[in-house]
A and B are shown apart, each in its own frame.
Chain A
């Protein structure tokens, strides 16, 4: 039989600390089959019983883009040659982050019946949501192709910013979900707090407007550095836009380094927190 051979399960009080992220990645690799099945399940459930199926993952961002495009045309007079593309990429990147974060927050609590019956590393649930939303993102990214053709944009070496930004978005959202998924088992308030927090930061991040509107003089320049540090998504969304438009990335290198470091630190701390609290948390579900 193909099940892992004669393993010894040993559980006691010892908990990983600094090694937590490595342990998580190891667990992920060992359970990659299961991870694949969970992602497949979510995708199938999503598309199985709807007439439009895949259409929905495209329609939602498109509808939002049209809305904000109109809103923008009314409210703003700024010149952005690629406005629809700017908005669409912002919305796609944001929903990758927001959905990974919010699905991750609730996934442990919602999987209680499974968690109480079978043991496997619980971080699989969170990563399956990250993977699912990544696939969703890549599928809906296809809608930008007509826009790229329309604007005659050919991928340059700037396109390398895309995978970097995507990985960083996933690391950030997963790292945050490590904290909230545990807290959610004890207090169901968390998911509502996450929803509100995401809604607020949606408007405070350059999702449906370009970063230049923030850096372009409307906010006193001494606050811009702080803004970029507090809001890593501003950097990642801008990176994704640059990847397609070929525009140079207008963010100081120091800020980039700080943002990357803080994202990785959030993931690292989240991993430690998750590994140490997960055992206690599953008793609450």
Chain B
């Protein structure tokens, strides 16, 4: 019997159509007179998603922009709660969408390590243990006590990645992170991600890159308009993606 790491059951999620302009004042003034129907204010970003991911499995999500891939990752990470259905994820989850999560420009590199570490859920002791390693890995020891607004973009990326690479999540959600940074940085991060993928972590990758998905994933699902439309076979997902482009 296989262990199930992520189980998504009939999940639906609505997303507001307009982010701004739903002004409360306006709603008070105009709301009673001209109430916009619910379907004009919300759209179904995810619609009846069913998915089970076994422990240690690596799956990919593929689909056109706005199809709901990133939203699905956020639901898995607990950032958005589903409006319908339920989701269960076992173990520590980390969503990597960009680097430098929670960085504050005015704090020093060292202070940011502590802050970012605690945001990712580490306790005081493990942050202290990690600190030296992170500084070493980032290769910016000389500047570690300067505020990071004085850093170059590259230095910030290195520090951010050094923190990320210390995470050892049970479930890792990757949202296009492999496409940031310079060539060397990309190679380094790719190597670390490969390491995680080959380890026993469960990984969900969102990407537009066929080659990345092909080399890493056990299963790839195509997503369109908030629905999973393929059965997990790599070929059918790629076929769907190609045909959708046209």
Evaluate contact between B92 and A117: CB separation under 8 angstroms. no
Evaluate contact between A283 and B80: CB separation under 8 angstroms. yes
Evaluate contact between A6 and B90: CB separation under 8 angstroms. yes
**Chain B residues near A283 (CB-CB < 8 A):** 14-16, 80
Interface hit among B22-30, B60-68, B236-244: B22-30
Evaluate contact between A6 and B107: CB separation under 8 angstroms. no
Please tell me which one of the listed residues B23, B82, B83, B111 contacts residue A189 in the complex, with CB atoms under 8 A apart.
Answer: B23
Evaluate contact between A115 and B118: CB separation under 8 angstroms. no
The answer to whether B120 has its CB under 8 Å from any CB of chain A is: yes
Evaluate contact between A13 and B104: CB separation under 8 angstroms. no
Q: How far is the CB of A250 from chain B (nearest CB, A)?
A: 39
Interface hit among A42-50, A58-66, A165-173: A42-50
**Chain A residues near B168 (CB-CB < 8 A):** 1
The answer to whether B121 has its CB under 8 Å from any CB of chain A is: yes
B contacts with A, residue count (CB < 8 A): 53
Evaluate contact between A117 and B98: CB separation under 8 angstroms. yes
**Chain B residues near A256 (CB-CB < 8 A):** none
Q: How far is the CB of B227 from chain A (nearest CB, A)?
A: 19
The answer to whether A157 has its CB under 8 Å from any CB of chain B is: no
Given A9-B89, A114-B101, A117-B97, A3:B121 Cβ within 8 A: yes
CA distance A120 to B15 in the complex (A): 20
Report which residue of B24, B84, B90, B125 has the largest number of chain A beta carbons within 10 angstroms of its beta carbon.
B24
Evaluate contact between B87 and A116: CB separation under 8 angstroms. no
Q: How far is the CB of B112 from chain A (nearest CB, A)?
A: 9
Q: How far is the CB of A201 from chain B (nearest CB, A)?
A: 20
**Chain A residues near B24 (CB-CB < 8 A):** 183, 186-187, 189-190
The answer to whether B115 has its CB under 8 Å from any CB of chain A is: yes
Chain A residue nearest to B25 in the complex (CB): A189
Please tell me which one of the listed residues A2, A45, A117, A284 contacts residue B22 in the complex, with CB atoms under 8 A apart.
Answer: A284
CA distance A4 to B93 in the complex (A): 11
**Chain A residues near B124 (CB-CB < 8 A):** 33
Q: How far is the CB of A166 from chain B (nearest CB, A)?
A: 26
Evaluate contact between A11 and B91: CB separation under 8 angstroms. no
Please tell me which one of the listed residues A2, A11, A187, A189 contacts residue B86 in the complex, with CB atoms under 8 A apart.
Answer: A11
Please tell me which one of the listed residues A4, A48, A183, A187 contacts residue B121 in the complex, with CB atoms under 8 A apart.
Answer: A4
Chain B residue nearest to A15 in the complex (CB): B81
Q: How far is the CB of B26 from chain A (nearest CB, A)?
A: 8
The answer to whether A8 has its CB under 8 Å from any CB of chain B is: yes
The answer to whether A148 has its CB under 8 Å from any CB of chain B is: no
Evaluate contact between A118 and B126: CB separation under 8 angstroms. no
Q: How far is the CB of A86 from chain B (nearest CB, A)?
A: 36
The answer to whether B88 has its CB under 8 Å from any CB of chain A is: yes
The answer to whether B106 has its CB under 8 Å from any CB of chain A is: yes
**Chain A residues near B86 (CB-CB < 8 A):** 10-13
The answer to whether B79 has its CB under 8 Å from any CB of chain A is: yes
The answer to whether B102 has its CB under 8 Å from any CB of chain A is: yes
Evaluate contact between A187 and B22: CB separation under 8 angstroms. yes
**Chain B residues near A161 (CB-CB < 8 A):** none
Evaluate contact between B115 and A37: CB separation under 8 angstroms. yes
Chain A residue nearest to B91 in the complex (CB): A6
Contacts of A209-224 to chain B: CB distance below 8 A: none
Contacts of A1-27 to chain B: CB distance below 8 A: 1-4, 6-13
Evaluate contact between B93 and A33: CB separation under 8 angstroms. no
The answer to whether A119 has its CB under 8 Å from any CB of chain B is: yes
**Chain B residues near A110 (CB-CB < 8 A):** none
Evaluate contact between A114 and B121: CB separation under 8 angstroms. no
The answer to whether B194 has its CB under 8 Å from any CB of chain A is: no
The 5 closest A-B pairs by CB, nearest first: A2-B126, A12-B86, A187-B24, A119-B78, A2-B123
Please report A residues at the B interface, Cβ cutoff 8 Å.
Answer: 1-4, 6-13, 33-34, 37, 41, 44-45, 48-49, 114-120, 183, 186-190, 279, 282-284
Please report B residues at the A interface, Cβ cutoff 8 Å.
Answer: 14-16, 19-20, 22-27, 74-75, 77-93, 95, 97-98, 101-102, 104, 106-107, 111, 114-115, 118-126, 147, 168, 170
20 more A-B residue pairs beyond the given contacts A33-B124, A117-B95, with a C-beta to C-beta distance below 8 A? A1-B126, A2-B123, A3-B92, A4-B92, A4-B121, A6-B170, A7-B91, A11-B82, A11-B86, A13-B84, A33-B118, A37-B114, A37-B115, A45-B104, A49-B147, A120-B121, A187-B23, A188-B23, A279-B81, A283-B16
**What are 15 contact pairs spanning A and B, CB under 8 A?**
A1-B168, A6-B90, A7-B91, A8-B90, A11-B86, A13-B82, A33-B123, A45-B107, A118-B95, A120-B119, A187-B24, A187-B26, A190-B24, A283-B16, A284-B22
